[in-house]
């Protein structure tokens, strides 16, 4: 027989969006339950590069788009959290790099004159030379230019773990939560294997899984889009740390490299950018061959001997836009007694929480329920880092 748990807010999906929001709402006194059908962070979040963007990569054409404006405050908000003075206490969570960089391999910089002339970017992009250069570029063979961005790179699995720790007893594991539709089209309850959950508001933050939750609830809107990537992973003991967008001739980075710790002490270079976008439909072997050629051309002094290679196909899930373009900000849309959300960027999780909290205030949803007893319920695990999953 199923029993009913009453809560103020029921969140579906425990990626960065759901977990961040859960932590914020609990601080505000709301009782919350978060249902995760797999591993916490195991969707896009732990597969992300962990760059807390300040919008620079969206301004490579010299214009500061609304995406760049919305995201501009995010590095400072995350830094405050990581210092223990922000809205969520992430003190002690590993920062992989205090800076992300832009690197131009040669004379291409002239194509980006508008970008460097842009007033809006002043103070956010600074050329580094000599001793300030990251170790990987400190080679006589390097002829390009390097710019330091006001952006940082975080260890996402560690953030997910901290947010799970802050969630107390609010996390529930269920492999197939079902949204029960009421006669008026709203959500009556979330049906789990042995329990029903009733809430004042339901937040759909299940990443790619939000589409099937909406289908389950018989809601056609808002529509979702997937933008596929095939990331390339290179693992080796001697890889130097590299956190940088490599500039190409288009307004998108030719390649974006981040470096992540594997549990055996080795390092993994995680290659994204245009390489992964254009590589989405390529056979893994072809894409690996291309990535090897690119790295050999761009960083010929770095030895890749003895490294292991693989690829990871993954979709970015976002609200549908015309022409599969990138949405500009975190997305939150009220639908009956639910809010449907996609952060569109890991960095924008705080912005998504702001929007949800503003909606709850506007709809006069205040904390009412006491925390339900979930001590008997299964808890979701935190996902293993993707570099360990991909190189078992």
Ligand X SMILES: Cc1cc2nc3c(=O)[nH]c(=O)nc-3n(C[C@H](O)[C@H](O)[C@H](O)COP(=O)(O)OP(=O)(O)OC[C@H]3O[C@@H](n4cnc5c(N)ncnc54)[C@H](O)[C@@H]3O)c2cc1C
Q: Which is nearer to ligand X, 86 or 367 (CB)?
A: 86
By C-alpha distance, which of 307, 145, 359, 51 is closest to 351?
A: 359
Are the C-beta atoms of residues 194 and 330 closer than 8 Å to each other?
Answer: no
283: CB partners within 8 A, 6+ apart: none
Q: Does 157 bind ligand X (CB under 6 A)?
A: no
Give the footprint of ligand X on residues 1-20 (CB under 6 A). Answer: 12-18
Q: Does 239 bind ligand X (CB under 6 A)?
A: no
Among 10, 23, 31, 43, binds ligand X (CB under 6 A): 43
Buried b (16+ CB within 10 A) or exposed e, 86-122: bebbbeebebbbebbbbbbbeeebebbeebbebeebe
Look at the block and give the residue holding tokens 């390009």: 144
Q: What number of chain residues touch ligand X (CB under 6 A)?
A: 39
Q: How far apart are CA 20 and CA 14, in angstroms?
A: 9
Least CB distance to ligand X at residue 226 (A): 10
Q: How far apart are CA 9 and CA 22, in angstroms?
A: 9
Q: Does 42 bind ligand X (CB under 6 A)?
A: yes
Stretch in the footprint of ligand X (CB under 6 A) among 131-139, 244-252, 319-327, 340-348? 340-348
Q: Does 273 bind ligand X (CB under 6 A)?
A: no
Q: Which is nearer to ligand X, 313 or 367 (CB)?
A: 313
Least CB distance to ligand X at residue 174 (A): 7
Look at the block and give the residue holding tokens 């952006």: 151
Q: Which is nearer to ligand X, 36 or 294 (CB)?
A: 36
Give the footprint of ligand X on residues 304-333 (CB under 6 A). Answer: 314, 316
Give the footprint of ligand X on residues 64-123 (CB under 6 A). Answer: none
By C-alpha distance, which of 32, 2, 5, 122 is closest to 353?
A: 32
By C-alpha distance, which of 351, 331, 328 is closest to 224?
A: 331
Among 96, 187, 213, 340, binds ligand X (CB under 6 A): 213
The answer to whether the peptide bond before residue 263 is cis (omega within 30 degrees of 0) is no
Least CB distance to ligand X at residue 312 (A): 7
Q: Which is nearer to ligand X, 31 or 210 (CB)?
A: 210
Q: Does 47 bind ligand X (CB under 6 A)?
A: yes
Q: Does 36 bind ligand X (CB under 6 A)?
A: yes
Least CB distance to ligand X at residue 344 (A): 6
Give the footprint of ligand X on residues 170-209 (CB under 6 A). Answer: 177, 205-209
Helix or strand run (H / E) with residue 100:
strand 100-104
118: tokens are 């842009």
Name the site residues for ligand X (rule: CB under 6 A): 12-18, 35-38, 42-45, 47-51, 53, 177, 205-209, 213, 229, 231, 272, 314, 316, 342-347
């Amino acid at each position: 027989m199923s029993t009913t748990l009453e809560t103020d807010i029921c969140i579906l999906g425990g990626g960065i969006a759901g977990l961040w929001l859960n932590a914020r709402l609990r601080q505000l006194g709301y009782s919350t339950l978060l249902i995760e059908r797999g591993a916490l962070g195991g969707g896009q979040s732990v597969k992300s590069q962990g760059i807390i963007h300040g919008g620079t990569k969206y301004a490579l054409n010299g214009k500061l788009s609304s995406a760049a404006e919305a995201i501009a405050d995010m590095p400072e908000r995350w830094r405050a959290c990581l210092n223990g003075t922000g809205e969520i206490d992430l003190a002690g969570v590993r920062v992989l790099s205090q800076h992300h960089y832009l690197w131009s391999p040669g004379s291409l910089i002239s194509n980006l004159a508008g970008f460097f002339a842009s007033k809006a970017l002043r103070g956010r992009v600074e050329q580094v030379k000599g001793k300030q250069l990251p170790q990987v570029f400190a080679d006589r063979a390097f002829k390009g230019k390097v710019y330091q961005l006001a952006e940082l790179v975080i260890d996402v699995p560690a953030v997910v773990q901290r947010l799970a720790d802050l969630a107390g007893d609010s996390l529930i594991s269920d492999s197939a939560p079902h949204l029960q539709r009421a006669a008026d089209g709203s959500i009556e309850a979330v049906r789990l294997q042995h329990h029903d959950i009733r809430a004042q508001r339901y937040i759909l933050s299940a990443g790619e899984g939000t589409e099937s939750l909406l289908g389950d609830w018989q809601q056609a809107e808002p529509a979702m889009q997937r933008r596929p990537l095939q990331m390339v992973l290179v693992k080796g003991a001697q890889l130097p740390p590299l956190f940088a967008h490599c500039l190409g001739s288009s307004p998108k980075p030719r390649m974006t490299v981040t470096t992540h710790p594997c549990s055996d002490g080795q390092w993994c270079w995680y290659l994204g950018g245009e390489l992964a976008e254009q590589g989405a439909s390529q056979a893994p072997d072809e894409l690996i061959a291309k990535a090897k050629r690119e790295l050999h051309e761009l960083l010929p002094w770095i030895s890749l001997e003895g490294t292991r290679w693989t690829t990871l196909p993954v979709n970015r899930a976002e609200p549908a836009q015309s022409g599969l373009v990138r949405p500009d900000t975190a997305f939150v849309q009220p639908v009956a007694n639910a809010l449907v959300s996609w952060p569109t960027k890991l960095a924008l999780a705080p912005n998504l929480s702001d929007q949800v909290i503003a909606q709850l205030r506007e709809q006069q949803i205040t904390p009412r329920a006491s925390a339900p007893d979930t001590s008997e319920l299964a808890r979701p695990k935190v996902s293993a880092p993707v570099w360990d999953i991909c190189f078992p």
